[in-house]
Chains A and B, each alone.
Chain A
């Protein structure tokens, strides 16, 4: 039965997550309240793994989420369900709508959706912050400090092009050395 739910939920995500990978995050967060497939804390691991493995972010997150919910087959079901709406929608567009992205109504719809998606992602990231930087005993000081430092470093010109996986590797080493 889990597979049916996985199919339904990830099909919906594929149909409504406009703007690619990060846009799936708010939906994945919604799922933590509906099912016990994975916790909010697991989500941070999912983002970390998805950022540091090759492949589109959204696909990696779906595979990981599905794996958490129902093992290897769960990962396959979640990923396939996520891409199914894309396949259907894109083929329809390629077949019938030559100037889809120039269409006035389409433009108007996405004019409204784009800022809203930014808000949805921002609020999901806020939720992620609360989980990742809080423990039972209050604020997790060391990860918070590391977060601020790395965020600052990421905006130094020379380090801007660093790969996310590089930062995650450094974070792991710092975490072990300073006993986070």
Chain B
């Protein structure tokens, strides 16, 4: 058991989690700097592979990357420690902010500020949806799947999980019929 490297895994991912905002793709430059350039823990190609796997497995992409790199270095314990390092800053910071916000909830200025923030949150989320749509709606089949899923969520009580599972099964059926080759 290499305790020193386990500690380093925790520390490096703590730093990455604490210094990047948003997760996902925005973390790539930071991951490259810390893991490839500074530590030489993985090669740049491996990092890209890691990202590809992170994107086509369930869960938070940043966490998947942390687990993968940690596992590569120090097996199961390494995967767990790296992931804990990645989520520790969030736990600390968000808990502090949430506690603080609760104590000023009734303040009238805070309420004005929150109404403004709500407007901008909508703008930010709309932007996220558009970016995602550009990346994922690359063919007529994709658009059809998206439209069908959208209608199902709006007009039927089918749970979110069921829609994800159905879409996956549909993808396999489509592949068997030769529909995913474009």
Contacts and interface: CB of A to CB of B under 8 A. Distances in A.
Interface in B45-79: 49, 52-64, 67-68, 71-72, 76, 79
Given A47-B121, A119-B150, A112 B115 contact: no
A150 B71 CA distance: 42
Interface string B99-135: 1010000000100111111111111111111001100
Contacts of B60: 14, 17, 20-21, 24, 56, 58-59, 82-83, 86
A138 interface: no
Interface in B141-158: 142-143, 145-150, 153-154
B35 to A, nearest CB: 15
A13 to B, nearest CB: 9
A70 interface: no
A95 to B, nearest CB: 8
Contacts of A76: 91
Contact of B149 (A48, A60, A115): A115
A105 B168 CA distance: 10
A116 B117 contact: no
Nearest to B145: A115
A54 B93 contact: yes
Given A83-B63, A151-B126, A164-B21, A90 B119 contact: no
A112 B146 CA distance: 9
Contacts of A94: 68, 71-72, 79
A93 to B, nearest CB: 6
A90 B137 contact: no
> Which of A47, A49, A112, A151 gathers the greatest number of chain B CB atoms within 10 Å?
A112
B11 interface: no
A100 to B, nearest CB: 6
Contact of A118 (B67, B122, B137): B137
A154 to B, nearest CB: 6
Interface residues of B, number: 92
Interface string A115-136: 1111111110110110011000
Given A16-B164, A115-B137, A164-B22, A142 B119 contact: yes
Interface in A48-82: 48-60, 63-64, 67-68, 72, 75-76, 79-80, 82
Contacts of B80: 87
A99 B47 CA distance: 14
B97 A53 contact: yes
List of 8 A-B pairs having minimum Cβ-Cβ separation, nearest first: A175-B116, A112-B171, A56-B23, A143-B119, A55-B90, A86-B59, A116-B167, A108-B175
Interface of A: 12, 14-22, 24-27, 30, 44-45, 47-60, 63-64, 67-68, 72, 75-76, 79-80, 82-83, 85-87, 89-91, 93-95, 100-101, 104-123, 125-126, 128-129, 132-133, 140, 142-148, 150-151, 154, 163-165, 167-168, 170-176, 178-180
Interface of B: 17-24, 27, 49, 52-64, 67-68, 71-72, 76, 79-80, 83, 86-87, 89-91, 93-95, 97-99, 101, 109, 112-129, 132-133, 136-137, 142-143, 145-150, 153-154, 159-161, 163-172, 174-175, 180
